[in-house]
Every structure is written in structure tokens, then in C-alpha cells.
Amino acid sequence: MEDKKLGLPSVVATGMGLIVATSCLMPLGQGAGSLGISFIIAMVIACLVNILTALSMSELNALMPNLTGGLAQYTLASMGPFAAIVSMVGGYLVCNVVNGSVECAMFGNSINFALHTQIPSSVYCIILLVILIIANLNGIDVFAKIQDFVAYGLILSLIIMGLLGTFKLGTGEVVSQPFVVSYEPADIFSFVGLAFFLFLGCEFIIPIAKDVKNPRRNVPLGMVLSIVVILVMQIIVVLGMHNYTEWSELAGANSPHIFFGTSLLGRAGSAWMIIVSIFAVVSTVNSVISSLSYICAGMAKINMLPGVFQKRNKKGAPYVGILLIGGAMILINATGLSTSDQLSFMILIGCVFWMVAYIISNLNVLILRKRLAKAPRTFKVPFGPVLPILGALGNLFMIWNIDGDPATRLLIYEICGAIFIVLGIYAAVWCKKIMKRKLFEPVPVKEVMAMESDLYLAARRQRSKSG
């Protein structure tokens, strides 16, 4: 009997569940507090750029379907192993570790904001991470069953609270303040990079494409709809914030969603938001630790990371990746990642890596179209090369305007540049010494797709022994 396929509503739900997290409320609060409703313009720009990248990802999946490595394998076939390693390790592993760490910090701040404890926020973060590491090491995805429920609960809660605020139906005191703090284009553009963080993650729909009804239509449409629904939800929340939170206080709040909930409905709003936040952070961080450890194992399978990442414990869990990823998050939070400035700075660093990955994704489409012009594709981005080029340029524009303060922007570039140099050295050595491939020589698509098979791995090991 044929397995039941996922329809469009399930695809959209998956996309929204991966995008929405409590950490996205930090840039939402900071952006709205700094610009007022002008931040909506920055959100729309970031949303459109992410939609363009989602379409490019859909075409890559249509050309090379059912690949678990995603961007790593697309780039391997397009630009060669060097770019594949740098983009995947930097564009996904680094930024997701940063994202998960920010999510944990938001969790600790939310607890302290609501309960006024004297315990440092980082303590709550570390306790949560230790619990999730242990759960993943035992091969227990305890939270998978409530993942969709949590995502929908968070979205529905934010829409309801946004509507209550928009129509002034809350129990709190209504604030009288201007809608717009700044309408200067330079100010708006400087927040587009921060707004980018609000729409990250829809491309993780790609791994479930093989289980989707009519993937040619539902995968790209589901990705686009999930981003648009999130945009509408966030616009409603910004309008609600205008009536119940002072812009200046909102911009500096460590937990803007708790601050908004308290201002809107008092203790009931605070309790509502804290419960939703706890479930959301558990769901999100658990997903990050689990998925990244399996991505590392997958990259090791195609010889792009050390083979140790393939090692599994008795429960079948890829424990090396789990321990390293969870340990990195603990280290980041133990350094005191708690103030809004620090969180915002970490978010922007993560965004730069993700933007670079998105630029490469758009370039992959253009390169593979030229090289494999006649290859069959069940989906193709319309209007020729225009939209992939606009997608790449849009991400470059956001990197250039990653922060309005020149000193902060330069520091972000320096940190990202240093990390990319380290990744580049690792990638160059790994390509030459371990993979024994030329750095920028693309691997044929057929071979990349064959790498999914265990037979390919066995053959590679046999060649290695005989060589």
C-alpha cells in the first residue's frame, strides 16, 4: 500500500514550524522599537529576498531530487568541494549553532523577566541544553509529537495578541505615540539584515519533498506561503505593539514578547507568553541539535567532514555531532549571552553566514542551468535568470547593510571574515588531502546523487584500502 503523501497545508505547516521561534521576536521587537511601523518595509524587503531564494532552492531540488545533504550536494555539483564545505559548514552549521544559542538565551531571559529570579539567565540555558543533549543521545525525539502543535500555538497566540493590541482590546494601558519613529531610507535599509532573520528556515521543507503530493507545485508554493503567512502575522504583532508598548522600551527589552504580553494583558499575558516560549524553545533547540548532528553525519558520509561524525551509540544517535553542537551552544551561553545588544549582534553574525549560503544557492541555479540546460526539471524559476540574480543581489545588499552603525558593521565583517578564513583553510586541506579532489572542480550530478547510496560509501572505502 502506498504511503500517504503530504498535502499543501502540511507543507505550509512544516515551513512555518521551522521559521517561527521565540528568537525571531528579538529582531521583531528591536526593529519595531527602533523604526516604528517603518520596520514593516524592512520586513517586506527581507521577505521578498527570501522568497526568491526559496524558488531557487525549489529548482535545485527539482533538478537533483531526494538528496539529504541539500545545499552541500547542490554546491558540490555546481562549484566543487571547496565552496560546498565552506557554504555548508559556515552557512548552516555555524549559523544554526548561533541561532540555537540565541534561542536558549531568549528562554533564560524570559524566565527571569517573568519570575524575577536572582539566578543568571545562562544557568537556565545550560540546564535546558544538558537535558536536550541527554535526550538526543538516547535517541529519543521526545518533542517531535508536539512540534507542530507548538508552532501553531505560537503563531496563533501571536496573531490573537497582535489583533487584541491592534484593536485596543487589551486590559493594559493604551500608549499614545507616533506610528513612525524613522522613515529615512538609510535607517530602514540598515534593519533589513535584522528582518532577514524573521524568515529563515523554509528551505528545510526540501528534505520532505519526496513525501509531498505534487511536489512540482506544492514544494515551491508551500515555501512561499509559509513565508507570507509569517510576514502577515508579524505585521499584525507590530501594529499591536504600537498601542501597548513604548517604542523606546520595546527596542531595549531582553524579551520583547514577554514585555508585549505583560503590557497587553498584565500577568495573564506574561504567563501566556512564557508558556508558549518554553515549548517553542524546547522544540526549536531540540530540532537544531538533532538535525545538525544528522547533517554532519550525512556530510561525513560523502567525505566532506571527518568520518568520526558517522559514529553512533547503541541507541543509533550520532553522538559526536550531538556533543559538539550542544557543547558549542553551552559554551556560547556560558559566556553571558543575555543582553539584547549581545543577542542582536549574534543574530546578525548568524545572518551573514546564512545570506552567503543563500547567495551560493542562487548562483548554483544559474551555473547548473548553463551546464545542464537540457536536463529535466519538474520546477523552474520563471523569467529566466532574472529572479536568481535578484535573489543573490538582494542578499548582498543585506550583507552590505547588516547594521546601521559602521563600527558594529565592521566588527561583524571582521568576525565573519576570520571564521571564513579558518573554514577556507580547513576546506582546502580537506579537499586535497582527504577527498583528493581539485578545489573548484564540480562533481558530476550523477555521482553526487549516487553518493546517497550505501554502495557508494562501500566502494569508496574499498578504493581507499586498495589505494
Q: Which cell goes with 331?
A: 559554551
Structural domains in the chain? 8-459 (1.20.1740.10)
Q: Could you write out the DSSP letters of every residue in 391-412?
A: HHHHHHHHHHTS-SSHHHHHHH
* Gap between the Cα atoms of 74 and 408, Å rounded: 33
Contact 369, 382 (CB under 8 A): no
Q: Which of 135, 98, 89 is nearest to 23 (CA)?
A: 98
Q: Which of 95, 37, 410, 1 is nearest to 235 (CA)?
A: 37
Q: What are the phi and psi torsion angles at 212 (to 5°)?
A: -105, 140
Q: Which cell goes with 394?
A: 538582494
Chain centroid to CA 273: how far? Answer: 22
- At residue 1, the pLDDT reads 40
Q: What are the average pLDDT values for consecutive 10-residue runs of the chain, which has 467 residues? A: 66 71 76 94 96 92 77 88 88 80 81 78 88 81 54 80 95 93 91 89 73 82 90 94 94 84 91 79 77 81 83 86 92 73 80 91 95 88 95 95 89 93 92 90 87 68 61
Count the Cβ atoms, other than its own, within 10 Å of residue 224. 20
- The predicted model scores a pTM of 0.86
Q: Is the dihedral of CA 454, 459, 460, 464 positive or negative?
A: positive
- Packing angle, helices 25-35 and 95-115, rounded to 10: 70
